[in-house]
Structure 1
Amino acid sequence: MSASLRDHPAPALLSPGAATALLEAYRPATDRFLASPRHTLLGRGSAAGIPHGTSPLAHRVRDVLDALRRPDAPPPVVMGSLPFAPDAPPALAVPDMVHWAPPLREDPLIALPVPRDEHRPDWRVREVPSPERYGEAVATAVARMRAGEFDKVVLARTLELASSREPDLPAMLRWLARRDPDGYSFAVPSGPGRTLIGASPELLVSRRGNLLTANPLAGSTPRSTDLAEDVRRAAALLESPKDLHEHAVVVTAVQEALAPFCTRLKVPTRPTLVRTAALWHLSTTVTGELRDPDVTALDLASALHPTPAVCGTPTDVARAVIAASEPFDRGPYTGMVGWQDADGDGEWVVTIRCAEAEGRTLRLFAGAGIVAESTPEAETAETAAKFRTFLHAVGAGL
């Protein structure tokens, strides 16, 4: 095995090009790839899976990782995804080996262009629900909120893409990772014959020693190719009462969920902006110090999930509205994807800007946060903007 691909507990010691090497080495079905602004991981094979059960997931993960600890070896790592539904089985495994590298953004080779596939699938696209039906669901939810039934709900729709041949998942992952090397790219098995692939802008929570970081995003607007218009849209987002309210609801929920775990929790009073290739987002970076060193990254992620950014508030009411409004099973969408080691350190990302591949099909997901000030037209346009990342990656369009 080359030096750039070797298992190593200290990513900073690897040579330039290591992150790109891991990206290029990814193979579907057997590999798990995760990239963040902190590091790049590639897991190969499966030494153990995480069983489904009634005990807390964080406890089951801890038991498996502790059983796999070996003296004088780096702590074992679990990688994979968790679904939106709390009672659905996890798609988590401990790889036989995990290769580490620095962040993709620090790798000079990541700037090299990705060769375009001249023989891309000829996709047939079906919208579920249709834009008209989605707009009706938004209008119904807004009417109920204005009547005081609940405060917010996140409603999603999907694009079902079918082709005569299977998509090139490694090429798709390379395109997504290179398009946004500051984000969170991933490709992991999500079930028998299925792969979850995407590039999320949103960190749910990370733990490193006794320090935690969460980065909730809520409130967004599409980017513009015209620089002056793009700047205007960003400035307008920072002053939008509707988007600031939507964002504040999420930040308050994150603060309330994390406060019991912390001796100190820092929450900025005003959001900042985060940009992706397609959207501007309102962003707040929450940091804290853990009270109990035994609390793991997955303990924290489980306490946060689902935030109002992907579900709504109150949570139980929002879940019921989602179940009644969305004519599909979300599966891994709006769950979380990431990793954790046996010491409790890890990163969990909100599973958005993603697709699930199975054979010759892709299912793309996009949602919008609905509040009382929302309009069907604006929220439908927001989901269309969120679809663009993947539509460009696969060479399809609406």
Structure 2
Amino acid sequence: MDGFLLATPAGVVRATGTRIAFDDAGAAAAALRAGDVELIVGALPFDPRRRTALSAPAQAVRTAGPWRPAALPVLPQVRVVSEMPSAAEHVARVTKLVEQLNDPGQPLRKVVLARSLLAEADAPLEPEVVAAHLVTRHPRANVYAVDLTPAGRPGDTLLGATPEVLVARHGRTVTLKPLAGTLPRLADPDADAAQARELLASSKNRDEHAYVIDWIREQLTPVCGELDIPDGPELLQTPEVWHLATPITAELRDPEITALDLAVLLHPTPAVCGTPTDLALDAIADLEGDRGFYGGAVGWCDARGDGEWVVAIRCAELSADGRSLRAFGGGGIVAASDPQAELAETTAKLRTFLNGLQCAVPE
């Protein structure tokens, strides 16, 4: 895919071609400030030390309102061929980590552990067709498709349907809606409603959520001053999971700070990484290796500094030939985590993407 697509419920940004590619966020931000480019689009990797997939596109169009695909071509059959790691291995890994987090001398407080499924398609998948199926299934999500060529991965595409906005900046107004704390949806309506109430009352999940909110407050206060943060989280639902969410608004002190600057400042949050950030990053690298762009950020920033960035979750990386994809699902592990519940959470999150391709997710 030679281009970029971000379709939110409020609007769509679509870009094609590449004037300048950037594998470094600092260089992209500098080009915006210098007036060398009018728009930056693309993705930040999970690990800020790795190469970005940002570009100044040759053409770009922004439209208001949701994306309604004109056609929905049938997708080829897609099937899971391997798990990385296996479900049993993920449970064992979470169990060991919970033991570490319960050690009073352990400085780590939270680590987000993920697992992935490798799937293969009978015929090449077209990124835009996959995105169309995702936005049809998840009309309230933020659906994206990003060419990863600037990161040294020619032809690979990051695809997903995320419920989480990392940060948006319009004028001096900054808005965020971090998510942390999750339980799977249930088929029975009464049981599902009880599940939602359980999540809202869960001390484990509220503590996990509080780590994220406290960290965001610490990061944003120097550049925004006072933040408008509700006293407690609210419930957010997707077809697969319940989340705890907190809407946050603030006003920038310095109008020169762009949406890209804010995305770099806030990424990765404890919702996708852990607490403290540097120790959690190292722990994830040791346990999982390179996550690529899962848990990263996708978005755009224009010459005025306005822009929107979403968290790259509920996603997969599609190979250049369109025949294989790696889908990801993770969960925040804290001292009170239950390993089996954490496995169920990753399974529910993997369904967000793979069900859109009518691909069964192993239990």
Local SS of the residue matching 1:291 = coil
Match of 1:337 in 2: 298
Q: Alignment partner for residue 4 of structure 2, among 14, 23, 32? A: 32
**1:322 alignment partner AA:** I
Q: Judging changes above 3 Å, is the alpha-carbon distance between structure 1 residues 116 and 37 closer, same or farther for their aligned structure 2 residues?
A: closer
Tell whether 2:274 aligns with 1:302. Answer: no
Moved over 6 A (4+): none
Match of 1:283 in 2: 245
Aligned partners of 2:223 and 2:188: how far apart in 1? 44
Q: CA RMSD in A?
A: 1.7
Aligned partners of 2:306 and 2:21: how far apart in 1? 19
Tell whether 2:79 aligns with 1:123. Answer: yes
Using the size of structure 2 for normalisation, the TM-score is: 0.93
Aligned partners of 2:139 and 2:65: how far apart in 1? 8
Q: What fraction of aligned residue pairs are identical, expressed as a percent?
A: 41
Local SS of the residue matching 1:123 = strand
Match of 2:51 in 1: 89
Q: How does 1:72-151 map to 2 (within 5 A)?
A: 76-104=38-66, 109=68, 115=72, 117=74, 120-148=76-104, 149=106, 150-151=108-109
Match of 1:364 in 2: 327
Number of matched pairs: 353
Local SS of the residue matching 1:68 = coil
Deviation at 1:67, TM superposition (A): 3.8
Tell me, yes or no, if the aligned pair for 2:142 and 2:161 is still in contact at 8 Å.
yes
Greater Rg over alpha carbons, structure: 1
Tell whether 2:233 aligns with 1:271. Answer: yes
Aligned partners of 1:303 and 1:258: how far apart in 2? 8
Match of 2:180 in 1: 218
Aligned partners of 1:237 and 1:264: how far apart in 2? 28
CA offset digits 1:250-285 (Å, max 9, x no partner): 111011110100133111111001111111100001
Tell me, yes or no, if the aligned pair for 2:272 and 2:332 is still in contact at 8 Å.
yes
Deviation at 1:61, TM superposition (A): 2.4
Aligned partners of 1:58 and 1:188: how far apart in 2? 19
CA offset digits 1:338-362 (Å, max 9, x no partner): 0000111111111100000002110
Aligned partners of 2:249 and 2:271: how far apart in 1? 18
Aligned partners of 1:64 and 1:296: how far apart in 2? 9
Q: Alignment partner for residue 31 of structure 2, among 47, 63, 81? A: 63
Q: How does 1:147-296 map to 2 (within 5 A)?
A: 147-148=103-104, 149=106, 150-190=108-148, 191-296=153-258
Structure 2, unmatched stretches of 5+, are: none
Aligned partners of 1:286 and 1:216: how far apart in 2? 8
Q: Judging changes above 3 Å, is the alpha-carbon distance between structure 1 residues 338 and 212 closer, same or farther for their aligned structure 2 residues?
A: same
Match of 2:18 in 1: 46
CA offset digits 1:107-133 (Å, max 9, x no partner): 6x56x8x6462x623524200000111
Aligned partners of 1:58 and 1:122: how far apart in 2? 38
Tell me, yes or no, if the aligned pair for 1:80 and 1:339 is still in contact at 8 Å.
yes
Local SS of the residue matching 2:226 = strand
